[in-house]
Each structure stands twice: as C-alpha cells, then as structure tokens.
A and B are shown apart, each in its own frame.
Chain A
Amino acid sequence: MSGENIPETPSLPSSGRLILTLATIAMMSGFVVVFVYQVTLEPIARNHRMALEKAVFTVIPGADTRVNYLLESEGLKRLDDEDIDRANLFAGYDAEGSLIGVAMQASARGYADVIRVLYGYSPERECIIGFTVLQSSETPGLGDKIETDPDFLANFECLDVSLNQEQTGLDNEIRAVRQGTKTEPWQIDGITGATISVEAVARALRESADRMLPILAGHLYELTEPDDISPDRGPYLSDSKVDAGFNPDKE
C-alpha cells in the first residue's frame, strides 16, 4: 500500500477500476442485506406479534385469545394477523369464547417523549381494567414509575369510564390527582416525582376513551359474537341472531 513515493494524486488508478470496486462491494453488500432481511423477516414479525399479544393479555386479565379489529367511525372491521399493523382494537376472549374486554392504544406527550400505552376496557363493568406502557422514554427512577409502581397500577383495576346518557363521551373526565388524594373512581392517583408522566397517561386515556368508547358502544354486539374463536359460543347464539338483523353486511 505504501510503495509509491510519488504524491497521491498522480498515482490515481483509472476511474473505471474505482467504480468497479465500489460497485462490486455495493452489490455484495446489497445481496447480503437482502438475504439477512429475508431470513429474519418472519422471526421479527413473530416477535412483534408475541409482544403485542403479551401486552393485550396483560391489560385484559383472564383473556386467552385475541381478535384484531380496526375501529373507525364508519364501523368495525375484523383484521387478519397479516394486517395487524392497521389494527387499533384487540378483543380478548376467555376459553369459553365470551368477550372479557377490549384493548386499545393511547398516546400522549410525556416528559421526555411520546408515551404509548395499551389499556383494557371492560364493556360489562364500564371501566378500564388494565394498563401497560408500550413505549416511553421517561426518566429512569422518576417518570418510569408509571410502568412499575404498584400503587399507581392499582388505579387500573377498575377506572371508571362510563359513558354519558347520550353516549357521546365520558360521563366523568379521567383526571390525575396528587398522590393519596383520589376520591372518585375516575380519578388517577398520581406518583410523587412523576407528575408530568402521570398527567400524560391520564390525558392519553381521557382522549382515547372519550373518542373511541362512544364509537365502540355502537358496535359492541359485533364483538360478543366472534366468528371462529370457539366452536360452541352457546350463550351468544341467541344474541347474534338478533344482532344479525341490525347489521346485514356483517361477515
């Protein structure tokens, strides 16, 4: 490499050779990257599915199967696992195939970055029954207590999100309060030192629940009758016959 005693510029090899070298290396590189991508594609997708599944089952205690849905103002659409990225609602069923709750994502800006959470909603009890943080960069030791603090997580055993009479929004807004001052079932007992993170969680849940739950209320009957969760969906058979009349275009 260091044989030449002439300065660098005159000893320039033909640009053809330079281009050829770079092109060859770039092509080899492209081949390797595509190969690795192909090999890892399936495991990566499986990891994401498993992580989501774990989160869904965490926020819907007692569920052991899940169905993906896309809930929009136009309606509720069932999605296969291939389209899981588009899903915004996951219904959780127990072993008998009855609906326990639905899991939905919510997000709000926290102290460091956007906090994304998944929460479980029980239509029967009209409250939030589970909560887990999907993504957060909150300060370790302070804001990240929203993921682990047992007293804080106890808020989500049954956080009241009942709808108002017109079914247009929440009856009572979810609010974060100072630690130890929770008096109403729709209040979130805060964490000292993590006020901003707790308020972000409250805001995320409030906005998401206020927007999604009224839409969900109109489509709830579609969830209680899943197509192929369980062969015998005994208790729901009669319901579904009635429901079918309301919604002829249901699959």
Chain B
Amino acid sequence: MVAPQKQFESPGFDTLKEGIWKDNPVFIMLLGLCPALAVSNTALNSLAMGLASTVVLLGSSLLISMMRNVIPKQVRIASYIIIIATFVTAVDYTIHALSLELYNALGAFIQLIVVNCMILGRCEAYASKNKVSTTMVNATGMGAGFTLALFMIGSIREILGFGTFFDIPLFGPDFQNWAIFILPPGGFIVLSLLLALFAFVEKRRAPAKTEKEGGHGS
C-alpha cells in the first residue's frame, strides 16, 4: 500500500511510478488477477481490458476524491461501488459500440471490472484521503501499471500460443499453436513467470534502491 506521508508531497513522478513499478497492482500487490488471467490471451484483448480498467479507475478516483468530504464514511463503500459501477456500465456500452468483436472477446469481464479489487482498493486507500491532483496522478500510475502488466501477459501468451502479435503472424505458416498458452493454464504459467521475474529484479535492486531509478520498460 502507499505510504501515507506521500499525500502531502506535490503530485509528482514518485506516485506515478509507484503504480507502474513499486506497487504494480498485478505483479506486486497481486490485485485484479481475475481479468489478468482470464482475458489476457491476446495482446489486443489484454490492452483493451487494461485501458478499460484504467478509464474506470480514473473516473471513479476523480469523483471520489472530489466528494471525499461529502460522503459519510458509513456509506462510503456503497457509494464507491455505485460510482465504480456507473463508470463500468459506461465503458461497457462504449466498447460495445466501438467493436462488437472486442466486446465478445472480453465477454463478462468488462462488467466484472466493478469488482476489481485494484479499483475499489485505490478508491478506499487513496482517492478518499487525497486531493484531486495527487489522486489523478496516482490513478494514472496504477492504471498504467495494470495495463502494462496485462499487456505483458497478453503479448507473451499471444506470441507463444498463436504465433502472432496483434494478429500479425510472426513465425510463418508452419507455426504450430502452443495451445496451452491460450488456455487458462497458460495464464497462470505466464503470470507466475512474470511474478518470479519481478521478485527477482526487486531483490537484486533492493540494496541500491535509493539512488537508482532504473529503466522499467518491458
């Protein structure tokens, strides 16, 4: 979770980076794993899922942060859920209107963004306690981290499973689909490998954490 002292600092690069690397929702906090496993079978699906979740996260964080002093804390979770559900419904309709193919590929998992722990967790732990600007920077970082994580899983699964990247064939016509990576077990395998990679890199970086920023491109 985010250190509480952050809330008094300027909305800077730090809180943005937290979501992408140090507190990456999927690889470090292990939140939102359900969509990360379920719809990450291709790069496009995972990117769309990541972006949809990011839009919901940004919208609900903005509203909750704006209304943080108005919502009584006894009904805050109920309020958050209504706000999140509203954005999810809007995103659901929008994707449906943009591309039927994508909508069918993502299936029920668009609606299920509403129960994504990452979003409710961010709202409860950050948006409800911080001013709008900081919240938005933090939500952007978290959303980017979530999208990046899904995109990494999705790319690996698509390349190994279908031999394509964004539907562009990579290995020629003789490629035999490695079906396990498209199937649910493939999601678990790729996720666990990436988790191990992240843990390994974190451990290696740990001694030199303070001085080095490090490139975190995939």
Contact = CB atoms under 8 A, between A and B. Distances in A.
B86 interface: yes
A9 to B, nearest CB: 10
A44 B83 contact: no
Interface string A51-62: 100000000000
Given A1-B129, A12-B74, A40-B93, A51 B100 contact: yes
Chain A: number of interface residues, binned into ranges: 20 to 34
Nearest to A193: B179
A141 B182 contact: yes
Contact of B74 (A18, A28, A50, A141): A18
Contacts of B182: 140-141
Given A47-B97, A139-B183, A22 B83 contact: no
A22 B97 contact: no
A33 B92 CA distance: 10
Contacts of B93: 36-37, 39-40, 44
B96 A44 contact: yes
Nearest to B69: A1
A77 interface: no
Given A21-B71, A36-B93, A48-B100, A141 B85 contact: no
A44 B70 CA distance: 36
A142 B99 CA distance: 26
Chain B: number of interface residues, binned into ranges: 20 to 34
A32 interface: yes
A54 B98 CA distance: 17
A18 B83 contact: no
A40 B95 CA distance: 9
Interface of B: 41, 68, 70-75, 78-79, 82-83, 85-86, 89-90, 93-94, 96-101, 104, 128-129, 161, 177, 179, 182-183
Given A1-B73, A140-B177, A140-B179, 19 more contacts: A8-B74, A13-B72, A28-B86, A29-B82, A32-B90, A33-B86, A33-B89, A36-B89, A36-B93, A37-B93, A39-B97, A40-B94, A44-B96, A44-B97, A47-B100, A48-B100, A139-B179, A140-B182, A141-B177
List the 10 closest pairs (A to B, CB-CB), nearest first.
A141-B179, A43-B97, A40-B97, A29-B86, A140-B182, A40-B93, A47-B100, A36-B90, A36-B93, A18-B75
